[in-house]
């Protein structure tokens, strides 16, 4: 994809579904066959946490790159990781881990863009 391609600047999203239910457990893995850049991770509460420890830790492979604090927010409240601008190699992986609260749940959406040097099928 070249810089002049109309899709070059398009932000894409991947809804990874609902996460939560066990503290410090990895959820919502997102992998790609092509290189990508993770811009932000967003979460919408579906089940309120019971402690201020409800939230998500964002990972690139096995490295923490950000977090989302949700606390005791009611269902429908959203939170974001803030700007991440993290690169993912082809066949790399992003994921989230729940923080200390085992009761809270949220839907996770990855906001990303494909990098111009991505290898695509012919």
Domains of the chain: 12-114 (2.60.120.260)
Query: For 23-56, how does the pLDDT look when each residue is reduced to its tens digit (9 = 90+)?
Result: 889 999 998 888 888 999 999 999 999 999 999 9
Rounded alpha-carbon distances, angstroms, from residue 116 to 68, 84, 91, 120: 28, 18, 16, 10
Task: Compare 92 and 109 and report the one with higher pLDDT.
Answer: 109
Instruction: Please compute the mean of the pLDDT values over residues 70-93 and round it to a whole number.
Output: 92
Q: What is the dihedral of CA 95, 14, 114, 87, to 10 degrees?
A: -20
**Residues facing 109 on adjacent strands:** 15, 42
Cα 81 from Cα 4, distance rounded (Å): 29
Q: Confirm if 56 and 99 have CB atoms less than 8 A apart.
A: yes
Q: Confirm if 93 and 29 have CB atoms less than 8 A apart.
A: yes
Q: Given this model, what pLDDT does residue 50 score? A: 93
CB contact set of 41 (below 8 Å; sequence gap of 6+) = 56, 58, 66, 68, 80, 81, 84, 94, 96, 108, 109, 110, 111
Instruction: Please compute the mean of the pLDDT values over residues 79-85 and round it to a whole number.
Output: 94
pTM, 2 dp: 0.84
């Amino acid at each position: 994809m070249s810089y002049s391609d109309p899709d070059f600047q398009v932000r894409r999203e991947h809804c990874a579904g609902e996460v939560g239910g066990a503290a410090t457990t990895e959820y919502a893995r997102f992998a790609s066959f092509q290189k990508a850049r993770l811009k932000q991770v967003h979460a919408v509460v579906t089940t309120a946490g019971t402690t201020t420890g409800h939230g998500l830790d964002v990972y690139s492979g096995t490295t923490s790159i950000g977090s989302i604090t949700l606390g005791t927010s009611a269902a429908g409240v959203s939170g974001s990781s803030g700007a991440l601008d993290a690169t993912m190699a082809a066949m790399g992986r992003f994921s989230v881990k729940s923080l200390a609260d085992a009761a809270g749940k949220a839907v996770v959406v990855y906001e990303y863009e494909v990098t111009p040097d991505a290898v695509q099928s012919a």
